[in-house]
A and B are shown apart, each in its own frame.
Chain A
């Protein structure tokens, strides 16, 4: 009987996409996310494996590396941990890369653990300044950087894709509160722009 009721996947925010003022906040609904952790002294093997599997150079901590397509990205969080994010057509490669990397390092699927939102627009930094304690103009969050922080009480991974475009990841169970918090700030900034 099981096969008679197929399960339909549901994004945490149902594909939420809203523009307020000059900013747009949209849920990334199609992505895959792997958590990569590697054993002591295994970084050389990992570098080799990354090059073979997807053509990514392991970036320094706090920065983002990408494959030639730009849609497979490696968000290096710490010395022994990174997230690998797949978007668009590259999602299809996630499974094979998973299997390839899993022979060398510890790989955990996390696409369901985290909700990914993209915030963009002229006043994005004004919006984030109202919730993100990181220095948005400083080197730690320049374009191509990634950091773990918290927005209010929510743990967030924030990556800067462009001067006015950020990728935000939070725990799936927090997604609605996170969306609400960001919309509040977007509304404030939009009102102030009047």
Chain B
């Protein structure tokens, strides 16, 4: 024992040969490997570790595990700070820094402790009642004040510098918990040959065996646990995950687990801090043990009042006496075990108080025994000093070990909405075997089997049976043996004769009175009472308090506990950091980024990029001296329209369609006719959903009789491919059609402008005739470029200019853009980005995503006047609905401001001059706007009722969001080259 570890009375299971230093609230302490922060603080005599949530009452360590409601600390500092960490679960390491939280001023002298004096005004649901007047104060005064006071720890506010991984594991049998039952189950299933994963939240396997002075197979329990762990680790078919909490049971046999990989290290040295595992298990065996609960009596929250089983844990596992004079208060046999173990190690146990009458147990030497007696009050502001009994006696103690019985940890059995059932004989809820998550079994204390001997047997039997169910029949050995014990308990929830407040939920400062008050105010359902009182909320989720609370509610309402029922649990079992759930998917890695073949070239040439779905596309290419994006975009548009521009359009979806029935298939998925499309030609296609709404548009080329190449918009590439596969596989499985996504196969560049033909002519190999006669508008064909590289050339235009799209295998994409720009120097070629592309398509009146937004039909887009297609296609029937065929329906048209200096905004709605801005007067909306450098003023595309009949009419574009109201003229959507002379040049 080193330093000031005044309460260390034995070696326990820690390594006392090494000493670790750590800091709590700025004070230096020492501990040993194997300690938790809580055990080390207790060893150093630290009793006060935190302040309660609402009343800021002094609080000390209450338990020894995940159920801890009090000892929540802020661990580490700076950006690594993690508030609300349970000191009972923090593995001690050299250099650990922790601080108490939820106080103003020091921990000892917390100014917010004044709340305790105001407690008569701060009872259950006070915030629903107390701050009603004046109403105006709620948002400005009361709510900010309450929010500032609420919560426990504070986040650093800095980006989390730690690294988190996620991963996937598969097994036949997942054993959750490595106590006596869990180890037995894993051994049985593992020996039988099943692939087993055993996970335990502790850094050492053994569960309660580490806390008890019991023998298993004639050796001390912790030694047997070590042997079992060694055997499991030696089995190739078993994976042992310590420091791993299975926090959720999800659908189809999947479980969520978090492994704390480097939380116990001062420096992670590149290791991830935590890993969230998704475990796919054919079967699961829940061996999560049980949690001890308290008894509510007057001032039962003082530092030094602890759960009896935890006092025993600190003694046997960590060699820590939680007090010099420890009293025991119990309603069951297990409390007596704590008294015996303390006494055996020389700790004074002046009194054992059992609420049961006529209990005959061997009392420790020197202990006075009271049966049928209760504790009614305690004293000691910052640490327990004395207890007062119902018989009037006051006894000086510095620690009180309380045992109100044990509650099986049924949490994961509830994650599929299973509701546990009440068992009178053990006064606890146990899993309903008929309502477990599929594939799950429960063994040991989690199933209500409260003795060690039975726990070992049930774990083994469940492991054998589970393995057998899966066909694994190798010998599993015999179950481990332990002596039988008594485990009688008598339900006793709270001491009714107390005058002081009796605490039920230590984390949320919920008292017996709060629960009774909730009932008086009509909260009869346990679910309602929970939310009204906050019982069982926050980080511990009521592990020590839920049963106590609902038992008091049952008593108050005059019903049984079984009739009252219980709340059930949702994932996670214990808190999981958001960072761990995110894993690597954060910042720039939130999702993958798709890069175009010309990305590196674009980056070299000053491109500003924009996210377009997953793609990163060049938005514009700023030249030196250009200070505003509009300068760059205007230049790109102007130079393209006067000479030639190049744009990477590889992001457009490209779907290769082959098969004897390919033509039939394409004709059925498009609303317009493709049956007549000739080989070597391209046609614009409009694809509808079943409901008649436009899904996407694009061009499709016929490469040969049974071979088409469809293009889609960038955004809809995935959905369209999925839609086509649905059509192919489900609607028309008789058609011989095969689809292959070739989006990434080709680097494709649009070459647009009056000099496009000349530029392309200098790229394709000699002998390829690009004349209008041989290769007219909407032609396509195979060519070779730059000395024999295979390519495809399409004479199509989105910009409205004479244009081509040239596609080469993607490996040549970078080289091709460099070649185009080099060859194009003679024509002042300009690269243009998506912004210029958008301006030019608006000038030309081409619809894009803004117009095909899931609301519009072919008629809206102006395709209604075309000759109707006679053959069936997706959307045929529902596009003929009356509502989609109205003569006064909206139409896509163009708009220009009357005052040419005004900018237009997409999203503005059209309201007639003089009309009020009401829904009734809404005639449509502006879908796309741009400044047209070609025309020298803003232009827009939009949908307005009877648009095709209203050219020349003046209306208003009203944008209430941006507070603009602009008079606009309805015009043709084709602002540039309305007759198509340029693109057919």
Q: Chain B: interface residue count, which band?
A: 35 or more
**A172 and B591 contact, Cβ closer than 8 Å, known pairs A2-B766, A130-B275:** no
Q: How far is the CA of A108 from the CA of B709 in the complex (A)?
A: 12
Q: Which of B714-748 contact A (CB under 8 A)?
A: 736, 738, 740-746
Chain B residues lying within 8 Å of A176, measured Cβ to Cβ, are 593, 595
Q: CB of A111 within 8 A of chain B?
A: yes
Chain B residues lying within 8 Å of A173, measured Cβ to Cβ, are 594-596, 615, 650, 743-744
Q: Are B766 and A7 interface neighbours, CB within 8 A?
A: no
Of the candidate stretches A67-75, A116-124, A184-192, the one touching chain B is A184-192
Of the candidate stretches B223-231, B665-673, B687-695, B806-814, the one touching chain A is B806-814
* A79 to B: closest C-beta gap in Å: 11
Q: Are B819 and A5 interface neighbours, CB within 8 A?
A: yes
Q: Are A7 and B740 interface neighbours, CB within 8 A?
A: no
Chain A residues lying within 8 Å of B658, measured Cβ to Cβ, are 37, 106, 108
Q: Are A135 and B593 interface neighbours, CB within 8 A?
A: no
Of the candidate stretches B165-173, B391-399, B462-470, B928-936, the one touching chain A is B165-173
Q: Are B811 and A11 interface neighbours, CB within 8 A?
A: yes
Chain A residues lying within 8 Å of B165, measured Cβ to Cβ, are 130, 185, 188
Q: CB of B623 within 8 A of chain A?
A: no
Q: Are B740 and A108 interface neighbours, CB within 8 A?
A: yes
What per-residue 1/0 map shows which CB atoms of A4-37 lie under 8 Å from chain B?
A: 0111111110000000000000000000000101
Chain B residues lying within 8 Å of A138, measured Cβ to Cβ, are 170
Chain A residues lying within 8 Å of B269, measured Cβ to Cβ, are 191, 194
| Nearest-CB residue, chain B, relative to A138 | B170
Q: Are A154 and B810 interface neighbours, CB within 8 A?
A: no
Q: CB of B157 within 8 A of chain A?
A: no
User: Within the complex, which residue of B195, B270, B594, B823 is in contact with A137, where a contact is CB–CB below 8 Å?
Assistant: B195
What per-residue 1/0 map shows which CB atoms of B348-370 lie under 8 Å from chain A?
A: 00000000000000000000000
Q: Are B278 and A133 interface neighbours, CB within 8 A?
A: yes
Q: Are B742 and A108 interface neighbours, CB within 8 A?
A: yes
Chain B residues lying within 8 Å of A113, measured Cβ to Cβ, are 741-745, 810
Chain A residues lying within 8 Å of B822, measured Cβ to Cβ, are 5
How many residues does chain A have at the interface if contact means C-beta atoms less than 8 Å apart? Answer: 56
Of the candidate stretches B145-153, B781-789, B843-851, the one touching chain A is B781-789
Chain A residues lying within 8 Å of B823, measured Cβ to Cβ, are 1-2, 5
| Nearest-CB residue, chain B, relative to A134 | B168
| Nearest-CB residue, chain A, relative to B164 | A188
Q: Are A172 and B593 interface neighbours, CB within 8 A?
A: no
* B257 to A: closest C-beta gap in Å: 13
Chain B residues lying within 8 Å of A106, measured Cβ to Cβ, are 658-659, 738
| Nearest-CB residue, chain B, relative to A39 | B736
Q: CB of A166 within 8 A of chain B?
A: no
Chain A residues lying within 8 Å of B738, measured Cβ to Cβ, are 37, 80-81, 106
What per-residue 1/0 map shows which CB atoms of B598-626 lie under 8 Å from chain A?
A: 00000000000000001100000000000
Q: CB of B261 within 8 A of chain A?
A: yes
Q: Are B819 and A7 interface neighbours, CB within 8 A?
A: yes
Q: How far is the CA of A184 from the CA of B269 in the complex (A)?
A: 14
Chain A residues lying within 8 Å of B786, measured Cβ to Cβ, are 2-3, 5-7
**A2 and B762 contact, Cβ closer than 8 Å, known pairs A7-B785, A191-B269:** yes
Chain B residues lying within 8 Å of A154, measured Cβ to Cβ, are 592
Chain B residues lying within 8 Å of A152, measured Cβ to Cβ, are 584-585, 591-592
Q: How far is the CA of A133 from the CA of B268 in the complex (A)?
A: 26
Given contacts A6-B786, A9-B811, 6 further A-B contacts (CB under 8 A): A8-B815, A113-B745, A130-B167, A132-B168, A173-B650, A176-B593
Please give the residue numbers on chain A whose beta carbons come within 8 Å of chain B beta carbons, in ascending order: 1-3, 5-12, 35, 37, 39-40, 80-81, 106, 108-114, 129-138, 152-154, 171-178, 180-181, 184-185, 187-188, 190-192, 194
